[in-house]
Amino acid sequence: MPIARETSFGRRPRRAPLWPTLEAFLSDAGLFVLGAAGAYSVNLVGSLPGDEILLAPLLPVLLLTKGRRAFNSQYMWFYILMGAWLFGTIVADSYFGIPAVSRMKGVARVVFFALDFIALAICLNNRPRRMVVFALSIVAVMLFIARQFRGEFLTQWKFGLASSILILSLLASSYFYARRRYWICILISLALAASNFVFAFRSQVVIVLVSAALTIPLLDRRGPSLGGRRARGRNSLKVVALLALAGGAVYLASQAIKFGVDRGFFEEGVAQKFQSQSEGKLGVLFGGRPETLVAIQAIRDSPILGHGSFAIDQRYLSLKQDIQYEYGYTDTDNPEDIENPTIPTHSHLTMAWVESGIFGGLLWIYVLVLTVRAVFRINLLRPALAPLYCYLLVNFIWDILYSPFGNVNRIWGAYLILMSYGLLNTPVREIVPTTMQRRTPYYPRRIVIRRYLGT
C-alpha cells in the first residue's frame, strides 16, 4: 500500500482566453456596437436607428468578405416572402395613391429589415457567443431607453428596465441550466415573474412563466434509440405536455393578476385600468389590445391589396371606439381626435397585412410558425442558453401578435429569426437519463462558462 503519491510542482495551467485571437474580440466588439447603436436614431423621412446608419458603410464590406453566410439555402423562403412583402407594399401604395413620404417610409421599413437580416446572418454565423453579445447590446439599448422616463418608475420598468434585468438574469440562469440545476432556473424565473407582477407588467409575467414552463425537461429518452414512429409519438406527447404546461402558466399568471387587483396590491390608477379591462365582454387581452379586432376588420375589407403604407382612414378609428364602447371597455363612443388617424394595428402581423396586403401577412405568418417551432425545438435540444433563448423567442411571438413593428425592432426581429433558424438547423442529440449515466463529472466554473458561451 503506497504511503505517498506523486505530485507535480510548477506553474498552474494557464487559462484559455475567452477570445482566442484579436480578430475574434474585434468581431464581437463590432457586433455589440452595431446592436447598441440602436439606442440613437435620426429623423430623416422617418426614424432611422443608429444600427441601420452603420449598415451603410459596413454591409458592402461584410458581403465582400463573408457574403456566402447570408445566402444559406435555409433562408430561401424568408427571402422569397420578403420580396413578396416589398412587392405588395409597392403595389398597394401605387393603387391607393399613398403620399410620397408614406411610400418611402413603407418601402424603407421592408428594405432595412431585409438588410438587417443579411448583416446579422453574416455577423452572428449561428455562434452562441455572438448570440449572447447581441443580447447584451439589447440590454444596453433598453437601459438607455429607460433613462428617458426618469421619475416614472413603472414606465421605466415597462420600457427598458424589465427587459434588461430579464436578459441578464436569464443569462445567469443559463449557467445553472448548463449544469442541469434546473430548480435554480425555475426559482430565478419565479422571482422575475414576481417582480413583474409587483410592478404591474402583466404581459411579462405571462411570458416569463410560459418560457420557464417550456424549458422544463420532459420525457427523457430511456434505453436504446427509439424507432421512427415511436420517436415521433414521443415527441408529439412532449409537445402536448409542453402546451399543457404553457396553458397552466398563462392561467396562473392571469389568476395572480386578478388576485392582486382584488386585494389592492397595485396603485389606484393601475388597478382601475386592470379592472376596466377585465370587466369587458371580450376579456383582458382585448381590453389591453383593442386594435386587434379593428385590424382584423381592415384585413377583411381588403385582404389581397391591403390599404397602403400608413393608410389614413377615420372610419377605423371610429370603429375602434365603437367596439370598445359596445363591449364595455369605455363609457363613450366618441373617437379620439387625432390629426393623422392611421388604421390601428399594434402588431407585426396585422400591420403588414393591413398595409401591404396578403403578401405582408404571409411573411409574418411564416415567421410566427418558424418561431413557434424553434421554441419547441429548445426543449428537444436543451442548449445551455435555453432559458435566454426561450424567453426571447416567446417574447417575439407576443410582439408578432401584439406589438408594433419599426425602428430598432427591425434588427431585433432579424436577430430572433436567425436564432430560430439556428435552433431548427441543429440536430437533436440522444438524451440519456441521469439514472443510466455515471455521475456527471465536475467541471471547473470557467470551463462551464466557456461551454455555454460556445467558445
Q: What's the pLDDT at 234?
A: 62
Query: Is 8 domain-assigned?
Result: no
Query: What cell was used for 445?
Result: 466554473
Query: Is 281 domain-assigned?
Result: yes
Q: What's the pLDDT at 217?
A: 83
Distance from C-alpha of 74 to C-alpha of 6, rounded to nearest angstrom: 55
CB-based contact 285:332 (threshold 8 Å): no
Distance from C-alpha of 353 to C-alpha of 340, rounded to nearest angstrom: 20
Q: What's the pLDDT at 357?
A: 96
Query: Is 367 domain-assigned?
Result: yes
Residue written as cell 434585468?
165
Neighbours of 230 (CB within 10 A): 10
Query: Is 336 domain-assigned?
Result: yes
Query: Is 14 domain-assigned?
Result: no
Residuewise pLDDT in 10s, the chain (455 residues): 445 555 444 555 566 667 778 888 888 999 999 999 999 988 877 788 999 999 988 999 999 999 999 999 999 999 999 999 999 999 999 999 999 999 999 999 999 999 999 999 999 999 999 999 999 999 999 999 999 998 888 889 999 999 999 999 999 999 999 999 999 999 999 999 999 988 888 889 889 988 998 898 865 544 444 445 555 666 677 677 777 877 777 777 777 767 776 676 766 666 666 666 666 666 666 666 778 889 999 999 999 999 999 999 889 988 888 887 777 677 676 777 777 789 999 899 999 999 999 999 999 999 999 999 999 999 888 999 999 999 999 999 999 999 999 889 999 999 999 999 999 998 876 444 333 333 444 444 444 445 445 54
CA 344 to chain centroid, in Å, comes to 22
**Ranges of H-type helices in 199-227:** 202-214
Query: Is 43 domain-assigned?
Result: yes
Query: What cell was used for 337?
Result: 381626435
Query: What cell was used for 303?
Result: 385582404
For the chain, the domain total comes to 1
Residues 6+ apart with CB under 8 A from 133: 28, 31, 32, 35
Query: Is 311 domain-assigned?
Result: yes
If phi > 0 it is left, if psi is from -120 to 50 it is alpha, else beta; for residue 407 that is: left
Query: Is 282 domain-assigned?
Result: yes
Residues 6+ apart with CB under 8 A from 298: 307, 313, 316, 343, 345, 350, 354
Residue 172 φ/ψ, nearest 5 degrees: -65, -40
Expressed as residue numbers, the domain containing 308 is: 23-221+228-426+445-452
> Residue 151 carries which DSSP code?
T
Q: What's the pLDDT at 203?
A: 86
**Ranges of H-type helices in 96-227:** 100-124, 128-147, 153-156, 162-178, 182-198, 202-214
